[in-house]
Structure 1
Amino acid sequence: MAQNVLLTGGSGFIGKHLTDVLLEAGFTVSVLSRSAKESSPAITYYKWDLNKNYIDENAVLNADYIIHLAGEGIVEKRWTNKRKKAILESRVKPIDLILSVLEKNNKKLEAFVSASAVGIYGAVTSHKICTENTPPADDFLGTTCQKWESAVDKIGALEIRTVKIRTGIVFGKNEGFLKKLTPSFKSGFGAILGTGKQYLPWIHIDDLCGIYLKAVEDPELEGPYNACITDNTTNSRFSKTFAKLFDYSIWLPKIPPFILKIVLGEMSKAVLTGQRVSSEKIQKTGFEFQFTDLEKTLINCLK
């Protein structure tokens, strides 16, 4: 029988793409959903409700692998205290809920693979190259990611192989990050944010899904892995390259940091800062990125 992969966040941008990749690789897929959905031969839907601490235990008991993608969007709303709490809990509570089922039933998984983020290294801009051994920052992003990964470690304590995918900005066709920016750039109103010197570690959705697939299939993978291209792309370089694809050069002045801070509040740190991140560790496992050139990648995403 084909092995089953259970996804949290399976209906999101990454989850939808990853589902296709897993099915093509010969796995069956299960998805935890807040609403009842009709299952198909290849995809089984199970109900869960984090607010009520409810999960259909069969989802976990029938799984060989679990991939945890669920979580509130980081830049969807201003970072009020309530929003910060929601961002953290939406990442940690699902893990604790799954952990309780594993412990209760003495269930062993082949692996538990969780999303994480390069935000663990902090909302700062520097020339330092962050590796998986770089200590977590003590700001909101760093602390959130650290608690997120610490929750994963509880699964690891059950002698289950755990993998943490520290993801950068994900590029996809009319989805995610690019979907938000395309209208303004396409209209000729693209602009550089702040100084433009902040680094923007990125990855194509196909490569990200490839890393998740390898994390499932390769028993040697364990612990954290950075999932982004190490090409020193800055916000300025990205903005100029993206505008070029719409046949114009950036003409608007840079958007001053204080304007973004007024509009976005503390969340402005997520767009005004960025560090260089190394992908050497995942590449040493034999993984090869298919999309490494920024311009060609953006062209692919606009097709």
Structure 2
Amino acid sequence: MNKKILITGATGLIGSELVKLCRAEGISVNYFTTDREKIEKTEDYYGYYWNPKKGEIDVAAFEGVSAIVNLVGATISKRWTRSYKKVIMDSRVKSMNLIYETLQKIDHAIEHFISASGISVYPNSKTKLYTEENKEVDDSFLAKVVVAWEAAASQFKNLGMEVSKVRTGMVLAKDDGALPQIVKPIKLGLGAPLGSGEQWQSWIHIKDIAGIYLFLLKNQHEGEFNAVAPNPVINKKLTKQIAIQLDRPLWLPNIPAFVIKLLLGEMSILVLEGQLVSSRKIQELGYNFKFYNIESALQDLL
């Protein structure tokens, strides 16, 4: 493909994997960074400075670009103080608003806007299977973030673009994200299911989440898409499968929910609650998962 795209959050967990895929496919990547010293300039990977907090952006980044993939956002795996909640929200919404306002003022040829989103928009449930058709919204802080995130993405339709929202599950990667944190106590022989252990974890392998972004880019599909593997697992099974893969015993009782709430505060919903989420829509469009079940994913990553 002879194409150029712009990625925000290109050096993050998903972004760096997507950059690799794009370059392998002959897609040139422009990217934004807030660190001028980290700007790389090669034939197919070109960095530009921006600072969404200050409203600063290098408009040259949009030249020759046909699509934007928006992956920027502060980590949610840091204690949710009142001030940090604002950072989580602003890092997602303000950055998109800056791009939107900039594109209103310049000539560009961008046809497609793809934004990260989250399955945490769906209410916590042990029994309901959520598809993209479901309109119920959870009352949690993270759900409010997703609603604001997706509303900020939707405004790009006003500029005549197709808009895609990628509702991402728990991304499993070897050295970053949730998996190393889950693995650590199990490696030490101190692993145990969290809370009831019955809460769903709709996960996805890092290669598949990057693959879904590339698939949406190449086929210009628009709308909401659940980016989760076809076979979600409950927390108890995930813990057990990691222990099997690492050949470590699981002898401790479940860690009570109240202990986790004391340790993590409001952020405890990340591990104590979950949603059973369907991947059928993206599969029916033709995306073939590399990792369908947790066993093969963990075998690859551990």
Q: Shorter chain as normaliser: what TM range?
A: over 0.9
- Aligned residue in 2 for 1:53: 55
Aligned-partner residue type, residue 29 of structure 1: V
Show the 5 A alignment for 1:186-225: 186-219=187-220, 221-225=221-225
Show the 5 A alignment for 1:117-196: 117-122=118-123, 124-135=124-135, 136-196=137-197
Q: Does residue 15 of structure 1 match 2:15?
A: yes
Match of 1:72 among 66, 71, 74: 74
| Cα distance in structure 1, aligned partners of 2:180 and 2:42 | 29
| Cα distance in structure 2, aligned partners of 1:85 and 1:6 | 26
| Cα distance in structure 2, aligned partners of 1:17 and 1:54 | 26
Query: Conserved in 2, the CA contact under 8 Å of 1:108 and 1:160?
Result: no
* 1:195 partner SS: coil
Superposition deviation, residue 183 in structure 1: 2.4
Specify every segment of 5 or more residues in structure 2 that has no aligned partner in the other structure, as ranges. none
Specify every segment of 5 or more residues in structure 1 that has no aligned partner in the other structure, as ranges. none
| Cα distance in structure 1, aligned partners of 2:155 and 2:63 | 18
Aligned-partner residue type, residue 80 of structure 2: W
| Cα distance in structure 1, aligned partners of 2:14 and 2:289 | 17
- TM-score after normalising by structure 1: 0.95
| Cα distance in structure 1, aligned partners of 2:231 and 2:66 | 36
Show the 5 A alignment for 1:234-249: 234-249=234-249
Aligned-partner residue type, residue 118 of structure 1: I
Aligned-partner residue type, residue 203 of structure 2: W
* 1:157 partner SS: helix
Provide the identity percentage. Answer: 38
- TM-score after normalising by structure 2: 0.96
| Cα distance in structure 1, aligned partners of 2:108 and 2:6 | 14
Q: What count of residue pairs does the alignment treat as equivalent? A: 299
Q: Deviations along 1:80-130, whole A, 9 cap, x unmatched?
A: 2211111111111111111011111143412111100101113x2321011
| Cα distance in structure 1, aligned partners of 2:3 and 2:190 | 48
Query: Conserved in 2, the CA contact under 8 Å of 1:198 and 1:234?
Result: yes
Aligned-partner residue type, residue 79 of structure 1: W
- Aligned residue in 1 for 2:250: 250
Query: Conserved in 1, the CA contact under 8 Å of 2:119 and 2:226?
Result: yes
- Aligned residue in 2 for 1:33: 33
Superposition deviation, residue 259 in structure 1: 0.6
Query: Conserved in 2, the CA contact under 8 Å of 1:245 and 1:299?
Result: yes
Query: Conserved in 2, the CA contact under 8 Å of 1:60 and 1:101?
Result: no
Aligned-partner residue type, residue 132 of structure 2: E
- Aligned residue in 1 for 2:300: 300
- Aligned residue in 1 for 2:259: 259
Superposition deviation, residue 153 in structure 1: 0.6
Aligned-partner residue type, residue 168 of structure 2: T
Q: Deviations along 1:10-48, whole A, 9 cap, x unmatched?
A: 111111111000001110011100112231222100000
Aligned-partner residue type, residue 58 of structure 1: A
* 2:159 partner SS: coil
| Cα distance in structure 1, aligned partners of 2:147 and 2:84 | 18
Q: Deviations along 1:241-260, whole A, 9 cap, x unmatched?
A: 10111213311111111111
Superposition deviation, residue 139 in structure 1: 2.1
Query: Conserved in 1, the CA contact under 8 Å of 2:65 and 2:109?
Result: no
Aligned-partner residue type, residue 129 of structure 2: I
- Aligned residue in 2 for 1:279: 279
Over the aligned positions, Cα root-mean-square deviation in angstroms equals 1.3
Q: Deviations along 1:62-87, whole A, 9 cap, x unmatched?
A: 42111000101112x22122111111
